[in-house]
Amino acid sequence: MKQQQFTCQLMDWHKRENERILPWKGEQDPYKIWLSEVILQQTRAEQGLPYYQAFIQKYPTIEDLAQAPDSEVFKLWEGLGYYSRCKNLLHTARYIVNELGGKFPVAYEAILSLKGIGPYTAAAISAFAYNLPHAVVDGNVFRVLARCFGIYAPVDATESRKIFTALANGLLDKEQPALYNQAIMDFGATICKPVNPLCSQCPQQNLCEAYLNGTINELPVKEKKMAKKMRWFTYFIFTVDDKTLVHQRIAKDIWQNLYEFYLVETDANSNWDNEKINEYLQNQFSIKDFYIKYISPFLSQQLTHQTIKAQFISVQLPHIPPMLQHYEWMNKQQMEQLAFPKIINEYRQSESFPAMLF
């Protein structure tokens, strides 16, 4: 039976050749498992590793996390991306502490119902923390199964999930679900890699459809290709004495809950010269008495589905204009507590080393 052979060869590889070491491997505390899995959603292990360690050190228990202020947790998450994960993490920590007496749910369905926990993370926690027989289906598993079993169903189609999940659960070693799940993900990450997989040293050579048919580069199949948008951000950095205007992003858009400066988004690369800035400040805020300290060129940041071009215009004001009073004005020390998008931090860093300016 091919399925049993796959599992047998996978477990054998795991026990004898898998040398991948990560701090959450073998962990059984559901809180730590949960934290690591959320951090690792759509994130490479190497990228998430320092964040995991920082979170565990600062919040050793779920009670510690639940009691922490939002801003502090977002600051710790800063730079990791997909910030709704952080919001849901806090929400669920507080829910478990306040409504469930701090006891992490044990049943798969109960775990799945928590905010920020989907099918993958629920299976991972069930298996790693409680050794329950649920197979994880992540990007690694999609790829490994598509190749080994020659599955051409597109992995990014909702309907295909059922096929892969059913197959994954059929392959699961039900005597040791935690070990099996760890094995298949490590295998996908180190041997059956997305590009240039190490087929020459692969333990599944004898049964891998893609390898035997020479179709490794065709699998897995993806069908969606998202168009990229270009967005032009002009940030006004308004300062009055030692205070700077900041604003928390609340709209349904990128970087929700993070902070930024005063933003003007335009359709195209509009040229903000002195004259246009004068006109804008007078018309919008009735500001006349100001000093333009610096106009930066556009910095660029690539996101998955959009390219951000951001420009920074530093404007010193004699006093806080009435029309900008409802914004937050913070000094340097206060600003250090806030989480900013990467492109803003890049500018802020260059700002503190004027010699390095572009």
**Residues near DNA, by CB under 7 A:** 22, 24-25, 36-37, 40-47, 79-84, 88, 115-122, 124, 138-140, 142-143, 157-159, 182, 185-186, 188-189, 194-196, 222, 224-226, 228, 252-256, 301-306, 341-343
CA torsion through residues 62, 122, 21, 131, sign: positive
Pick the closer one to DNA by CB: 219 or 315: 219
Task: Work out how close the CB of 160 gets to DNA at its nearest, in angstroms, rounded to a whole number.
Answer: 9
- Whole-number minimum distance, CB 288 to DNA, in Å? 35
Is 37 catalytic? The answer is yes
Query: What letter does residue 107 receive in the DSSP assignment?
Result: S
Q: Of 158 and 352, which CB lies nearer to DNA in the complex structure?
A: 158
Output DSSP code: residue 239. E
In angstroms, what is the minimal distance from the CB of 39 to DNA? 8
Interior angle at CA 50, CA 45 and CA 53, nearest 5: 105
Distances, alpha carbon 195 to alpha carbons 19, 142, 203, 226, in Å: 20, 14, 18, 20
Radius of gyration of the chain (CA): 25
CA neighbor of 116 nearest in space, from 140, 94, 135, 98: 94
- 203, 130 contact by CB (below 8 A): no
- Omega within 30 of 0 (cis) for the link into 23: no
Rank residues 22 and 163 by Cβ distance to DNA and give the closer one: 22
Distance from chain centroid for Cα 28: 23
Decide whether 173 or 186 has the Cβ nearer to DNA.
186
Burial class (CB in 10 A: 0-12, 13-18, 19+), 242: exposed
Compute the least distance from the CB of residue 181 to DNA, in Å. 9
* Distance linking the first and last C-alpha atoms of the chain: 62
Q: How far is the CB of 224 from DNA (least distance, A)?
A: 6
Q: Measured from the CB of residue 135, what is the shortest distance to DNA in angstroms?
A: 13
Q: Would the CA dihedral through 107, 109, 111, 114 be positive or negative?
A: negative
User: Of residues 17, 37, 159, 175, which has the active-site annotation?
Assistant: 37
Number of CB atoms found within 10 A of residue 252's CB: 6
Closest among 148, 122, 145 to 38, alpha carbons compared: 122
Please identify, using beta-carbon distances, which residue of 115 and 174 lies nearer to DNA: 115
Task: Point out the residues that are catalytic.
Answer: 37
